[in-house]
Structure 1
Amino acid sequence: MNMTTKSPASGKVDTSNLKHTPILIALLLGAMVALLNETLLGNALTVLMKEFEVTASTIQWLSTAYMLVVGVLVPITALLQQWLTTRQMFLIAMVTFLAGTLIAGFAPTFSVLLIGRIVQAIATGLISPLLMNTILIICPPEKRGATMGLIALVMMAAPAIGPTLSGVIVDSLNWRWLFYIVIPIVIISIMIGMKYIQNVSELTRPKVDYPSILLSTLGFGGFVYSFSASGDLGWSDAKVYGALIVGLISLCIFVVRQLKIENPILELRAFKVPMFTLSVGLIVIVMMSLFSTMTLLPMFLQTVLLVTAFKSGIIMLPGSVISAIMGPIAGKLFDKFSPKVIIVPGIVLVGIAMFLFKGITPDTSMLQIIIMHSVLMVGLMFVMTAQTYGLNQLTPDLYPHGTALFNTLQQVAGAIGTAIFISKMSSGTTKYMESSANPLDPVEKLNGLTSGFQGAFALGLIFIIVAFIVSLFLKEEKEGVKEARVLQNEH
Structure 2
Amino acid sequence: MLAPHATPPLSPARVTVVLRILVLSTFVVLLNETIMVNAIPRLMREFEVSAAAAGWLSTSFMLTMAVVIPVTGWFLQRVTTRTAFGLAMSLFLAGTALAAAAPAFPVLLAARVIQAGGTAVMMPLLMTTLMTLVPPQDRGRVMGNVTLVISVAPALGPAVSGVLLQLGTWRLLFLAVLPIGVAMALFGRRKLVDTGEPVAGPIDWLSVPLAAAGFGALVYGLSELGAGKASHAPVPPAATALVGAVLVGLFVWRQLALQRSSTPLLDLRALTFRHFAVALGLMCVSFMGLMGAFILLPIYLQEVCGLSSLQTGLLLIPGGLTMGLLGPQVGKLYDRFGAPRLVVPGAVLTALCLALFALAGEQTSPWLVLALHVALSAGMAFVFTPVFTSGLSVLPPHLYAHGSAILGSLQQVSAAVGTALVISVMSGRAATAAAEGHDATGALATGVRWGFGISAVLGVLAVGLALLVRTPPAPPEAKGEESAPTDEAAHAPS
TM-score, normalisation: structure 1 = 0.93
What secondary structure is seen at the aligned counterpart in 2 of 1:324?
helix
User: In the aligned structure 2, how far is the partner of 1:307 from the partner of 1:113?
Assistant: 28
What secondary structure is seen at the aligned counterpart in 2 of 1:210?
coil
Which of 458, 467, 475 is 2:470 aligned to? 475
The 8 Å contact of residues 395 and 485 in structure 1, kept in 2 or not, is answered as no
Amino acid at match of 1:37: N
What secondary structure is seen at the aligned counterpart in 1 of 2:32?
helix
User: In the aligned structure 2, how far is the partner of 1:483 from the partner of 1:200?
Assistant: 18
The 8 Å contact of residues 70 and 122 in structure 1, kept in 2 or not, is answered as yes
- Structure 2: segments with no counterpart, 5+ residues: 483-494
Q: Could you give the per-residue CA deviations for residues 434-485 of structure 1, whole angstroms, max 9, x where no partner exists? A: 3x2x34xx3xx3322222111111111111111111111122124xx24852
What secondary structure is seen at the aligned counterpart in 1 of 2:77?
helix
- 1:100 aligned onto 2:101: no
Amino acid at match of 1:253: L
Match of 1:14 in 2: 8
Q: Which stretch of the first structure deviates more once superposed, 365-374 or 223-232?
A: 223-232
Deviation at 1:433, TM superposition (A): 2.6
- 1:185 aligned onto 2:186: no
Match of 2:285 in 1: 285
Deviation at 1:69, TM superposition (A): 0.6
The 8 Å contact of residues 22 and 192 in structure 1, kept in 2 or not, is answered as no
What secondary structure is seen at the aligned counterpart in 2 of 1:201?
coil
Deviation at 1:283, TM superposition (A): 0.4
Match of 1:298 in 2: 298
The 8 Å contact of residues 355 and 458 in structure 1, kept in 2 or not, is answered as yes
User: In the aligned structure 1, how far is the partner of 2:477 from the partner of 2:59?
Assistant: 44
Deviation at 1:103, TM superposition (A): 0.4
Structure 1 residues 256, 482: closer, same or farther in 2, change over 3 A?
closer
Match of 2:490 in 1: none
User: In the aligned structure 2, how far is the partner of 1:468 from the partner of 1:242?
Assistant: 32
Q: How does 1:115-134 map to 2 (within 5 A)?
A: 115-134=110-129
Match of 1:371 in 2: 371
User: In the aligned structure 2, how far is the partner of 1:55 from the partner of 1:277?
Assistant: 41
Q: Which stretch of the first structure deviates more once superposed, 187-196 or 316-325?
A: 187-196
Match of 1:252 in 2: 249
Q: Which stretch of the first structure deviates more once superposed, 146-155 or 368-377?
A: 146-155
User: In the aligned structure 1, how far is the partner of 2:387 from the partner of 2:64?
Assistant: 26
- 1:195 aligned onto 2:190: yes
User: In the aligned structure 2, how far is the partner of 1:488 from the partner of 1:46?
Assistant: 55
Deviation at 1:50, TM superposition (A): 1.1
Amino acid at match of 1:391: L
Amino acid at match of 2:253: V
Deviation at 1:13, TM superposition (A): 2.2
What secondary structure is seen at the aligned counterpart in 2 of 1:306?
coil
The 8 Å contact of residues 292 and 419 in structure 2, kept in 1 or not, is answered as yes
What secondary structure is seen at the aligned counterpart in 1 of 2:206?
helix
User: In the aligned structure 2, how far is the partner of 1:407 from the partner of 1:220?
Assistant: 12
What secondary structure is seen at the aligned counterpart in 2 of 1:39?
coil
The 8 Å contact of residues 71 and 220 in structure 1, kept in 2 or not, is answered as yes
Match of 1:454 in 2: 449
Deviation at 1:6, TM superposition (A): 9.0
Q: Could you give the per-residue CA deviations for residues 333-354 of structure 1, whole angstroms, max 9, x where no partner exists? A: 1111121111111101101211
Q: How many residues align?
A: 475
User: In the aligned structure 1, how far is the partner of 2:46 from the partner of 2:15?
Assistant: 45
- 1:243 aligned onto 2:240: yes
Deviation at 1:64, TM superposition (A): 1.2
The 8 Å contact of residues 358 and 458 in structure 1, kept in 2 or not, is answered as yes
- Structure 1: segments with no counterpart, 5+ residues: none
What secondary structure is seen at the aligned counterpart in 1 of 2:470?
coil
What secondary structure is seen at the aligned counterpart in 2 of 1:448?
helix
Share of identical aligned residues, percent? Answer: 35
Match of 2:166 in 1: 171
Deviation at 1:190, TM superposition (A): 1.1
User: In the aligned structure 2, how far is the partner of 1:48 from the partner of 1:40?
Assistant: 13
User: In the aligned structure 1, how far is the partner of 2:118 from the partner of 2:366?
Assistant: 37
Amino acid at match of 2:274: P
Deviation at 1:202, TM superposition (A): 3.5
Structure 1 residues 293, 274: closer, same or farther in 2, change over 3 A?
same
Deviation at 1:247, TM superposition (A): 0.9
Match of 1:264 in 2: 264
The 8 Å contact of residues 228 and 424 in structure 2, kept in 1 or not, is answered as no
User: In the aligned structure 2, how far is the partner of 1:414 from the partner of 1:27?
Assistant: 24
- 1:88 aligned onto 2:77: no
What secondary structure is seen at the aligned counterpart in 1 of 2:110?
helix
Which of 135, 142, 148 is 1:147 aligned to? 142
Deviation at 1:68, TM superposition (A): 0.7
Amino acid at match of 2:7: V
Structure 1 residues 377, 113: closer, same or farther in 2, change over 3 A?
same
Match of 2:327 in 1: 327
Structure 1 residues 486, 191: closer, same or farther in 2, change over 3 A?
farther
Deviation at 1:269, TM superposition (A): 1.0
The 8 Å contact of residues 15 and 200 in structure 1, kept in 2 or not, is answered as no
Amino acid at match of 2:345: P
Which of 224, 227, 230 is 2:225 aligned to? 230
Structure 1 residues 428, 233: closer, same or farther in 2, change over 3 A?
closer
Match of 2:432 in 1: 431
User: In the aligned structure 2, how far is the partner of 1:484 from the partner of 1:409?
Assistant: 26
Deviation at 1:239, TM superposition (A): 4.4
Q: Which stretch of the first structure deviates more once superposed, 399-408 or 183-192?
A: 183-192
The 8 Å contact of residues 227 and 420 in structure 2, kept in 1 or not, is answered as no
User: In the aligned structure 2, how far is the partner of 1:239 from the partner of 1:451?
Assistant: 27
User: In the aligned structure 1, how far is the partner of 2:11 from the partner of 2:141?
Assistant: 21
Amino acid at match of 2:108: L
Match of 2:394 in 1: 393
